[in-house]
Copies of this chain bind each other. A is one copy, B any other.
Amino acid sequence: MPNLSKRLVAFQGERGAYSEIAARTFFGNEIHLSPSQTFDLVFRKVEKGIAGFGVIPIENSLAGSIHQNYDLLLKHRLHIVGELNVRIVHNLIAHAGISLSRVRRVFSHPQALMQCQNNVGKLKRVEIVPTYDTAGSVKKIMEEKILDGAAIASELAARIYGMKILRRQLQDNSENFTRFLILSRTAQPPPNANKTSVVYSVKNVPGALFRSLGVFALRDIDLFKIESRPLHGKPWEYLFYIDFAGSPKDKNCKNALEHLAEITTFMKVLGSYRRDQGRKV
């Protein structure tokens, strides 16, 4: 995507985060990076035009959806313009010259620690230290010269901070993928868009969810994902996030969205984009 390059791309985490890998894979290496402390800040940077694009994780194939980002998609006025599946490969990273037997503390984000818990459990006399970030943990043991510490993070993080990989493929389950979304301030469905995301709520009456899914099923439109999130202020009522095949350029999908608008109490199209299948297996 050469026309998108040389742009500022915001992502959550320190340099070397898995989101940076997603950004480089999607846009190529000719981008400028804007590491951000929180997901909310990523959304705000793109909304204000400080960054051209944002890259956020939305779902992991083991841990499930990242709900905070579903909620932020609703709160902010951004558009999904792309998606990307990235295989997550965790590595144990330490200072050069430090052997595995010297490691007494393992730092990482709780999610990464959980995904490696069997392998980390095999290490002897090691204390687990949860942190706010995978790549940030590598930065921490580098900057603070923690010689008895190792961090779980990406190979890119090891390279960026000049650290050494002690063990590769630390994750317990190799079928570990994260799906990332590319966000923009302007809707710009690519010509080959074949996937659309929408969020809606329905009246709290029997059969309402079934009818809303019928909008797609009766038109032979595939659903890829359904996610329910609480509707604030209305306990035990829900918003539904649906990813389906097609884009409003197709008459069939356009009709489906019009039909959905008829029977929902709230509806927002989050974007149409090219589905990423390639990196799944």
Q: Which residues of A contact B (CB under 8 A)?
A: 59-64, 67, 85, 173, 175, 177, 179, 206-207, 209-211, 213-214, 216-217, 220-230, 232-236, 238, 280-281
Q: Report the minimum CB–CB distance from A112 to chain B (whole Å).
A: 16
Residue pairs across A and B with Cβ atoms less than 8 A apart, 23 shown, are: A61-B230, A61-B235, A62-B230, A62-B232, A63-B230, A64-B230, A175-B232, A175-B233, A175-B234, A175-B235, A177-B235, A177-B236, A179-B236, A206-B221, A206-B222, A206-B223, A207-B217, A209-B223, A209-B226, A210-B210, A226-B226, A227-B228, A228-B228
The quantity of this chain's copies bound in the complex is 2
What are the residues of chain B within 8 A of A229 when measuring CB–CB? 64
What are the residues of chain B within 8 A of A213 when measuring CB–CB? 209-210, 213
Residue of B whose beta carbon sits closest to that of A224 = B236
In whole angstroms, how far apart are the Cα atoms of A227 and B217 in the complex? 19
The A contact surface, by secondary structure, is: mixed
In whole angstroms, how far apart are the Cα atoms of A232 and B60 in the complex? 10
In whole angstroms, how far apart are the Cα atoms of A235 and B280 in the complex? 7
The reply to whether B62 and A64 form a contact with Cβ atoms under 8 Å apart is no
